[in-house]
Amino acid sequence: MQTSRVWAGWWCVYVQILNYDINYQVITYFRKELHMTVISKKEFSALAALFGRDYLAYILNFDLKLIPILEKGGGDLSDTQTEVIQLLKPIVEQLKFSNPRPNQLGIGGAHYFHNLKTPDNEYLSSVLRKIAVPEKKELKQTDDPVLESLSELCRVAYPYLLIPIDGFSHFNREAPSLHGMPKMRVFLDAVINDPVLIKLFNIVGDDPHGINTSGSIYTSLDSGGGIQLATFHRIIFHNSWVQMKLQSKQSLEDFIEIACSQIIAARKAIKGELVFTPTFAFFDGTGIEEGHKIELKDGVLYPISKDMLPYMPHDTIPSNFTNGLAGMMLETTTEFKINIEPVRSSSKSGKRMSLREISTTSSMYEKANRVELGTILATSDTHPVKARHVGEVIINPLHFPRISSKFKSRSISKSLIIDKKHYKAITEWVDLIGNKDISKVKMATRRYLSAINERLIPEDSLVDAVIGLENLFGIRSEIAFAISNSVARLLGSSFGEREKIFKKMKRIYSARSDIIHSNREIKYEIVEDYRISAIYYLSCCLKVLLKEKNNLLSMNAIDRVKLIALEDT
């Protein structure tokens, strides 16, 4: 009986799509044909292309990683999962018939498909999932009206967000399907009655119900941003979707949990509490093998997957390697805090309040700098390997994600997928740098990173590396001797090694002077040899200062050179 009701409900949906009456005989015949149909890999691939693998995995309650196997004709579906695919096929035919781009739903087709309902007022996607998964899963309940009503909205919107729409953003497109819904009204009422969240919308006077439908947020850069009551859910959905995708999460439960965490963070921020918002920093040049991660005190380094690319700043997309992408992502946090301040108002009913964001990204940039420096020190043995911070996504609980990017590195240094043997060293170096005061060698580290990450011309890279050494060991007179002697004494373990390093450094510094003053042209082979050697010496000196000679790390260059010259070797 239950199965018959489901079929009857679905046929009403199908009639709604066709927009004309179908007699009983035709319906009976078509149902018979459906049950006789075998799903070919070509048909399944077409469904995956139209609705997306994510959507199919959701309505079938199937592991996303197994969908490509089904597209190739492998794997098995249960009877109920097969029934769902059969039910989708006639819908697809009608959508193709009415769509000028038959291989894509388009934004209108996606809206239309998502809003199809059964006579019981259930969304089609929910019905299909129930057919595929007959057992009812218990959903988490909460006593918080805002979180409960938001969870219900998430359940409605989630399937729609899974459908790919080429040429359109995944965001700002779910709102029309939610406006006017009873569940949306419940959510808005819950927000209005929440004593904390309502402060987002400029309370007017002493009347708790005297609200505006929109408010203002002023960032730490004094740029304003609007926030509207009717579209508050879009901010939550946008943030939650981006965070979920960058964390490589997939399920409806993940989406709901992250969305609810946005509300919790927003409440804390409105109360004036310090909030640590999820932050994702991206690096180009070095990648991590799929399935691996590197844990740091500052966060966790993950490989960048192709599924993350649509949610990253465009300029941060890394180079493609056969065994992965030559980029990685640091998942960390950024401090976020706001003040509630009175602002001028022409309203006679009372004061209006505004939110002023006082968040800071300085800590995030410091973390990114440590990852750059630590990764390069750990992976660059004889030849420099680049690892450049190219952008970030900061989840803002009161606004859309803050996305920024830099120009990608076009340096001559090589890119690579990090060998697993370097993972431990990266953790040690990044954490070590975080525990040290490197203010006295800050310029040297900047020039070191610039020489590796940002220079396309060998001469420029060489000059950067030598300037880094000058910052460590430069004095006002006899600078070439001071640098050469300090590097030799710091790195050489015997008289012969020190003499060799001393002579090489003298030639490198002489080449640096020729390049800057254009005294003579130097062959490319020589410049490249000197460039690699200068970067190598600078790298080794930084390692010694950070790990072995802590007393030298906190000195200025003059005192550092003096102590190195006087130390016993």
Mean pLDDT of 172-177: 46
| Predicted local distance difference test score (pLDDT) of residue 299 | 94
Is beta strand 294-296 parallel, antiparallel or unpaired with respect to 416-417?
A: unpaired
Q: What is the pLDDT of residue 56?
A: 81
The answer to whether residues 79 and 25 touch, using CB atoms and an 8 Å cutoff, is no
Beta carbons of 539 and 468 less than 8 angstroms apart: no
pLDDT on residue 446: 94
User: Bridge partners of 352?
Assistant: 343
Q: What is the pLDDT of residue 159?
A: 84
For residue 430, pLDDT over 60 is answered with yes
CB-CB neighbours of 306 under 10 Å: 10
Task: Return the structure tokens found at 527.
Answer: 């410049």
CA–chain centroid gap for 250, Å, is 15
Give residue 130's pLDDT: 81
Grade residue 429 by pLDDT with cuts at 50, 70 and 90.
very high
pLDDT higher at 207 or 442: 442
Give the range among 30-34, 149-153, 322-326, 493-497 with minimum mean pLDDT. Answer: 30-34
Assign residue 350 a region: left if phi > 0, alpha if psi is -120 to 50, beta otherwise? left
Average pLDDT over residues 373-398: 87
Question: How confident is the model at residue 171, as a pLDDT?
Answer: 47
pLDDT in tens, 287-306: 898 889 999 999 999 999 88
CA distance 565 to 569: 9
CA 360/CA 270 separation, integer angstroms: 16
Residue 243 confidence (pLDDT) above 90:
yes
483, two tokens = 């640098």
Q: What mean pLDDT comes out for the span 30-42?
A: 50
**Where residue 330 falls among pLDDT bands split at 50, 70, 90?**
very high
Q: What is the pLDDT of residue 224?
A: 46
Contact at 8 Å (CB) between 471 and 541?
Answer: no
Residues facing residue 320 across a β-bridge: 325
Confidence tier at 354 by pLDDT (50, 70, 90): low
Max CA pair span of the chain? 102
**What is the per-residue pLDDT for 328?**
93
Give one DSSP letter per residue of 78-105, joined into a string: -HHHHHHHHHHHHHHHHHHHH-SSTT--
Closest CA relative to residue 181, chosen from 121, 257, 236, 235: 121
Q: In 10 A of CB 60, how many CB atoms? A: 23
Q: What is the mean pLDDT of the segment spanning 4-22?
A: 43
352-357 and 214-218 as β-strands: parallel, antiparallel, unpaired?
parallel
> Shortest CA distance to 284 belongs to which of 311, 321, 317?
317
Find all residues with CB under 8 Å of 475, minimum gap 6, and list them: 482, 557, 558, 561
CA 469/CA 538 separation, integer angstroms: 6
Q: What is the pLDDT of residue 221?
A: 37
Q: Is the pLDDT of residue 334 over 80?
A: yes
Question: 182 near 321, Cβ under 8 Å?
Answer: no
Q: Give the pLDDT band of residue 369 (cuts 50, 70, 90).
A: very high
pLDDT of the residue at 180 = 60
Give φ, ψ of 374 to 5 degrees: -65, -40
pLDDT at 344: 53
Rounded to an integer, the average pLDDT of 349-375 is 75
Q: Which pTM was predicted? A: 0.82
Q: pLDDT tens-digit profile of 109-143?
A: 666 677 777 767 777 787 788 887 765 555 566 78
With tokens 């708790």, the residue in question is: 208
- Is residue 473 a contact partner of residue 481, using CB atoms and an 8 Å limit? no
> Which pLDDT value is given to residue 60?
81
pLDDT at residue 256 tops 80: yes
The pLDDT of residue 146 is above 70: yes
Say if residue 219's pLDDT is above 90. Answer: no
Reported as half-sphere exposure (CB side, CA atoms, 13 A), residue 91 has a value of 24
Confidence of residue 536 (pLDDT cuts 50, 70, 90): very high
Higher pLDDT, 198 or 377: 377
Q: Which residue has the tokens 């976020």?
A: 336
Q: Token pair 């399907």 is at which residue?
A: 177
pLDDT band of 357, cuts 50, 70, 90? low
Most confidently modeled of 74-78, 83-87, 123-127, 271-275? Answer: 271-275
Q: What is the pLDDT of residue 25?
A: 36
pLDDT tens digit string along 57-77?
888 877 777 777 777 766 677
Average pLDDT for residues 398-419, to the nearest whole number? 82
Euclidean distance between CA atoms 162 and 160, whole angstroms? 5
Per-residue confidence (pLDDT) for residue 12, from 0 to 100: 47
Q: Of 226-230, 268-272, 327-331, 526-530, give the lowest mean pLDDT range.
A: 226-230
Q: pLDDT class for 106, splitting at 50, 70, 90?
A: low
Query: Which of 129-133, 266-270, 503-507 has the weakest average pLDDT?
Result: 129-133
CA–CA–CA angle 401, 254, 165 (5° rounding): 60
Q: What percent of the chain has pLDDT over 70?
A: 73
Give the mean pLDDT of the chain. 77
Rg (CA), the chain: 30
| Torsion angle in degrees (nearest 10) through CA of 286, 287, 289, 290 | 170
